[in-house]
Structure 1
Amino acid sequence: MLNPRTHSSEHPDSYYAATRRYNRTYPSLQATVEAEVCVIGGGFSGVNTALELAERGFKVVLLEAFRIGWGASGRNGGQLIRGLGHGAEQFHNELGSTGVQAINQMGLEAVDLVKQRIGRYAIQCDLKMGYCDLAHKPRHMAEFEREKSWLDSVGYAHETRIIGPDQLHTVVGSDNYIGGLIDMGSGHVHPLNLTLGEAEAAATLGVQIFEQSKVIDITYGDQNTLHTATGQVKADRLVICGNAYVAGLNSRLESQVLPAGSYLIATEPLTDAQWQQVLPQDMAVCDQRVALDYYRLSADRRLLFGGLCNYSGRDPASIVATLKPHMDKVFPYLKGVKIDFQWGGMIGIGANRMPQIGRLRPNVYYAQAYAGHGINATHLAAHVIAEHIAEESERITIFEKINHLRFPGGRQFRAPLLAAGMLYHRAKDLF
C-alpha cells in the first residue's frame, strides 16, 4: 500500500513542486478518442515518446493517472549522469561486442538528447553541467581509472579528470571520501520543471494530454483500446511507460520491475560561505556504495540530499529523521541547518539493473526499470521507441536481446527477495 502522504493524486509537497515554473494542467478523459499512438504515463518516458512522435507528425494521445511528472520523473534527485545501466559487459553473451558497444554509446548519447531537448524548447529547468563520482575505497578509484580510460578511448567530448585527496575539497567539503572522477558532460536539473516543460512542448505540437485518467483495462488487438473510468482511447500503437507504477496494467511488465522507495530532503537556502564549502563548484555528486548518498545544490543554493533506497513499499515515519543523519555524517558542520522539505517516491528496479525497452506485441511498446539512471535513460528510451515507430532505426532490437528475469510470486514476495539481494551487495561494500 502506497503512503498517501507521498502518494496522493497531486504532486507531493516537495521542493520541486514549490518551485515549479509551469502550471498548466490538462483535463481528464471524458469521451472516446482515436489516435495513431497512445502513450500511458506522464513521466519522462511517456512525455518524451509523445513529444518525439509529435515532432515526426504522428497523432498522439497521452494518459496520466495523476499529474504530469507525478512519479519519479518529478521527484528524483535531478542528477543527469551519462550511462544507461550498471555495466553493459554483463550482456556480452546476448549482445556480442557490437551490441555492448552500442549500449555504451547510447549511454553517452542520452545526456545530449536531454540537453538538446532543453535547448530546442527553451525549457527553464536550471540545467547545470558538472558531476563527480566519489570514492570511499581504493577499488572505487581503480574503477574510475578504468572508466576514464574507456571514455578517452571512445573520444568522449567532455572533460574528465580524476582527483585525489589533495584536490577533493575543491569539489566537496567532506572528509568522507578519498577521491573522485569529475565529468563535465554530466550535471543536474530541476526534474519536475523539465517534465512539465516537455509536456507543454508536446501539447503545443498537438499531443492530446489527459491527466487524472488512470487506465483500468487494455484490450489488445490490431487497434488497441485503453479504458479509463470515464473514457476510451483507440490507437493503432500503444506505448506503456508506467515504470514503478505499472502494477495492474500488464502482468509481464509488473513481474519484471520492482518499486523501491527513494527519498530526499532539502535544506533552507545556505549562506554563501556554507554552499561554497559544501559544493564549491556546484556539481552533482554520488558515492559508489549500493546504499548510496547523492546530493547537489538547487538554483537557490539549498542542499538537496538523497538516498535511503528501500523495498518494503512503506515510507519512513519521518524522512528527515531517517535521512538527515546521513547528511550530518557527510557534512557535520551543517547539523544546525533547517530542513524545509522532505519527500519520496518509487523508482523502478529490474533484476539486472539495465533499462527494459522493447515490445510486448508488434504494436505494443514499453520502457521501464531505470534503476536510478532515469533522466537520461528515459529520454533515450523514448528516442529509440519513436525511431522504431517512425521506421527510422532498429536499435530497439538491441535492448530486446537482453533477458530480463521476472521476480517470482506477487509483490509481497518480490520485495523481500530483492531486499535480500541488496543486503548481500551492501555486505560486499562493507567487506
Structure 2
Amino acid sequence: MNTEQKLEKPILTEDVTFRKTDEGPKQEEWNWVDSRQVQDEDVLARPANYYEATLSPWKTFPALEHDCECDVVVVGGGLLGASTALHLSESGVETILLEKNKVGSAASGRNGGQLTPGLARWEAESIIENFDYDEACRLWKFTSIESFDLIQEITEHYALDLDMRRGHLTAAIHPGHINALTVGADARRYLGDDSVRILGPYEIRDHINSELYYGGALDKIGGQIHSLGLTRGLIYGFVKNGGHVYEDSEVLKIETVSEGVSIETAQGKILAKKGVVLAVHHTTFQLLSDVNSTIPFYTYVGVTNPIEGGSKTLLPTQMAVYDTQLQIDYYRPVRKERILFGGQGTGMRWNSDKVVDYLMSRIKTIFPQRDDIHLELAWSGTTDLTLNGAVDCRKLGEKAPIYAVHGWSGHGIAQTVRIGKAIRDDFLKLNDDFEMLASIEHRSILMGRQLAPVAIPLAKSLLGLGNKITPGKMISF
C-alpha cells in the first residue's frame, strides 16, 4: 500500500452555492440550473446538482497509476461500495476502493434522498410470499429497522450531519388505494412491525397541504437524508480507518489468478488476494458477462426556489412523501425552505427542458394553490430493475469471493448501506445474512439493455391501461 490518504469530513452548507460540478467529463448524467440564478457560462454548461451544491468543497482522489496488492478491492464509489469498504476497514481488512468517475457521482449521489423499508420493490407482502415466516421476519427486520439503525449508528460514530429525519408518508391518489396500504400495514404487523398508521382523507392534510389525496400511510421507520453527504461520510470513515480511494479509475478487466483476483484499470493493476466487491449498480454486466438480470431506466429530480412562507405551508410535518400513482411522485423538504421533487422513469434519457416541464406540471397538480413555485435545479439519474422486483445479490468466484449487488429499482438507500455490512460479515464468516439475500433467484433478461427504450414505455402503457380499467388497484412503477 502506498502513502496514507487524508480527508476532511463532509459539511452541509446553509443553502445552495450555484457552482460548477466536480464530476468528471465522462459523467453520462446531466445537471441543470435555472439561468436566472447564474451568469457564469462555465457553471451553466456544467452545474453542480443540489447535493453537490450544498456540501463543502470535497477533496478529489488520484487515479490509480501503479500496481499494488491488498486484501479486498471494492469497485464503485457509491453507497454500497462506500459502506462495504467502511465496514471492512473497521475490521482491519486492507481495502482499496476504485471509482471510475467521482465518489457519489452516480445513483447514490443523485437520488431523491428518501428512506423507505423493503428490498427494492419487495415490501412486506412480497417477502412473506417468498420466505417462510421466521426468515421473512428476519429479512424484513434486516431491510427496515436494522438498516435505519445502522445509518444512525454510523452518523453518530463519525459525527456526521446529514439532515436525517424519521417519518415517511405514502399518499393515496385513489380511495381504493387505502385498502392496499392497509393490507401492507397488516403484512408488516404480521412480521412484528407496528410502525405504520393508516391516515384518512382529513388526517393526511395535517401532513400535506393538498386536496389531491384520499388518505395514506404514515411510516415511523422511514425518513429522509442528504444522500451524497451520506456517501461521502462513509468514504470519510473509510479513509479515516486507513482505506485508500482512487477516482477516475475505471475497471477494465477482472480475472481470477492463482494468487486471488486481478483488477486492471487503464494505468494500474491491483491483486486482490482475498476478495472483490462489485458495487457498480447498473453496469455490473460489463465486468461479469454471465450476470445480465437487470434493465436500466432513467429518473429525474429537481429542487424548487425557497417557498414563500416556508416549506411547512406545503408540508406541515416536514415528512418525505411518495404517492400511489402509476408513475409515482416523491418529494420532501430540504434546507432553506426548498422542496426536492422527483418522478418519472423512462427507457431513454429525457433532456432537461422536458424534465423541468414534467416536474413542474406535477408540482402544480399537487399544489395548484401556489403559482410562485419554480425549479432552480434539476438533474437526471440512472437506476436498474430486476424482473422479480428484488435486489440481485450474488457471491461468485473460485480463488476468492466476488460479491455483486444490483437491481435496486430506485429504492434502497438504507438497505444498500446495510448490505455493505452484510458483505463484510460474510467475508469474515460472522453470519449468513448475505446468504439469505443471495438465496433469492433471479432470471436473466435476454436483450434487456437493448430493448429497454421500447420495453419500459410498453410496460408502462400496459400498466397504465390496467390502471384505467381498475383504478382502485394500486400499481406503481
Separation of aligned partners in 2, 1:247 and 1:313 = 20
Counterpart of 2:266, as a letter, is A
The answer on whether the counterparts of 1:218 and 1:224 sit within 8 Å (CA) in structure 2 is: yes
The amino acid of 2:165's aligned partner reads K
Aligned to 1:225: 262
Asked if 1:355 is matched to 2:380, the reply is: no
Structure 1 position 90, deviation (Å): 4.5
Instruction: Say which SS state the counterpart of residue 176 (structure 2) adopts.
Output: helix
Matched, 1:387 2:412: no
Distance 1:425 1:75 in 2: 27
Q: CA deviation at 1:42?
A: 0.3
Instruction: Please tell me the residue identity of whatever aligns with 1:19.
Output: T
CA distance in 1, matches of 2:375, 2:130: 47
* Alignment-derived partner of residue 163 in structure 1: 199
Residue 286 (structure 2) pairs with residue 251 (structure 1): no
Partner of 1:413: 451
Query: Are residue 77 (structure 1) and residue 102 (structure 2) matched?
Result: no
**Residue 100 of structure 1, CA deviation:** 2.9
Equivalent pair of 1:77/1:264 in contact (CA under 8 Å): yes
| Equivalence for 1:298 | 334
Partners of 1:209 and 1:349 lie apart in 2 by: 28
Post-superposition offset of 1:59:
0.4
Q: Which residue of 2 aligns with 1:341?
A: 377
Aligned length: 426
Q: Residues 426 and 433 of structure 2 are in contact (CA less than 8 Å); yes or no, is this contact kept in structure 1?
A: yes
Displacement after TM superposition at 1:241 (Å)? 0.8
Judging changes above 3 Å, is the alpha-carbon distance between structure 1 residues 410 and 94 closer, same or farther for their aligned structure 2 residues? closer
Question: Could you say what secondary structure the match of 2:117 adopts?
Answer: coil
| Aligned match of 1:188 | 224
Q: 1:265 to 1:361 in 2, by over 3 A?
A: same
CA contact (8 A) 2:128 2:136 kept: yes
2:78 is aligned, of 43, 67, 75, to 43
Question: Partners of 2:109 and 2:81 in 1: how far apart?
Answer: 13
Question: Normalized against structure 2, the TM-score is what?
Answer: 0.84
CA distance in 2, matches of 1:376, 1:308: 22
Q: Which moved more, 1:349-358 or 1:279-288?
A: 349-358
Once residues 85 and 425 of structure 1 are traced to their aligned partners in structure 2, the CA distance between those partners, rounded to angstroms, is 19
Distance change >3 Å, CA 166–CA 410, structure 1 → 2: closer
Structure 1: 5+ residue stretches without partners = none
Q: Residues 80 and 187 of structure 1 are in contact (CA less than 8 Å); yes or no, is this contact kept in structure 2? A: yes
Q: 1:316 to 1:425 in 2, by over 3 A?
A: farther
Task: State the Cα RMSD in Å.
Answer: 2.3
Q: Distance in 2 between matches of 1:154 and 1:411?
A: 36
SS of residue matched to 1:23:
coil
Which amino acid is the alignment partner of residue 94 of structure 2?
K
Q: 1:2 to 1:425 in 2, by over 3 A?
A: farther
Residue 19 of structure 2 is matched in structure 1 by none
Q: 1:94 and 1:72 mapped to 2: Cα distance?
A: 28
Shift of 1:148: 2.6
Equivalent residues of 1:64, 1:211 under 8 A apart: yes
Tell me, in whole angstroms, the C-alpha distance in 2 between the residues paired with 1:247 and 1:11. Answer: 29
CA deviation digits over 1:333-386, x for unaligned, max 9?
333323210111101211111111121225111111111222012112212111
C-alpha contact (below 8 Å) 2:256/2:262 kept by paired residues: yes
Aligned residue for 2:219, secondary structure, equals strand
> Which residue of structure 2 aligns with residue 5 of structure 1?
30
**Which secondary structure does the structure 1 equivalent of 2:104 belong to?**
coil
TM-aligned CA deviation for residue 316 of structure 1: 5.2
Match of 1:135 in 2: 172
> 1: distance between equivalents of 2:121 and 2:374?
35
- Secondary structure at the aligned position of 1:213 is classed as coil
Counterpart-to-counterpart distance in 1, 2:266 and 2:92: 29
Q: Which of 410, 425, 429 is the matching residue for 2:463?
A: 425
Q: Partners of 2:393 and 2:153 in 1: how far apart?
A: 22
- Residues 347, 171 of structure 1: CA spacing in aligned structure 2 closer, same or farther, 3 A cutoff? same
Shift of 1:134: 0.8
1:147 aligns with 2:184: yes
Distance 2:72 2:159 in 1: 26
Distance 1:22 1:113, change over 3 A: farther
Tell me how far 1:213 sits from its aligned partner.
0.6
Q: Is the 8 A contact 1:22 1:193 kept in 2?
A: no
The 1:289–1:360 alpha-carbon spacing in structure 2 relative to 1, beyond 3 Å, is farther
Structure 2 residue aligned with 1:368: 406
Task: Write the deviation string for residues 154-212 of structure 1: whole angstroms up to 9, x where unpaired.
Answer: 44375x32211111211001111100111122110111111111111111101111111
When residues 33 and 430 of structure 1 are mapped into structure 2, their CA distance, relative to the original with a 3 A threshold, is: farther
Change (3 A) 1:224 1:407: same
| TM score, norm. by length of structure 1 | 0.92
Alpha-carbon distance in 2 for matches of 1:277, 1:71: 33
* Code of the aligned partner of 2:232: L
Within-5 A mapping of 1:305-316: 305-315=341-351
Cα deviation for residue 31 of structure 1 reads 0.6
Match for residue 280 of structure 1 among 316, 326, 333: 316
Question: Given the superposition, is the C-alpha separation of residues 256 and 315 from structure 1 closer, same or farther in structure 2, using an over 3 Å criterion?
Answer: farther
> 1:252-295: per-residue Cα shift (whole Å, max 9, x none)?
33x21222111011111113x35222101110000123310000
Match of 2:437 in 1: 399
Which residue type is aligned with residue 390 of structure 1?
L
1:365–1:385: 8 Å Cα contact kept in structure 2? Answer: yes
Amino acid at match of 1:51: L
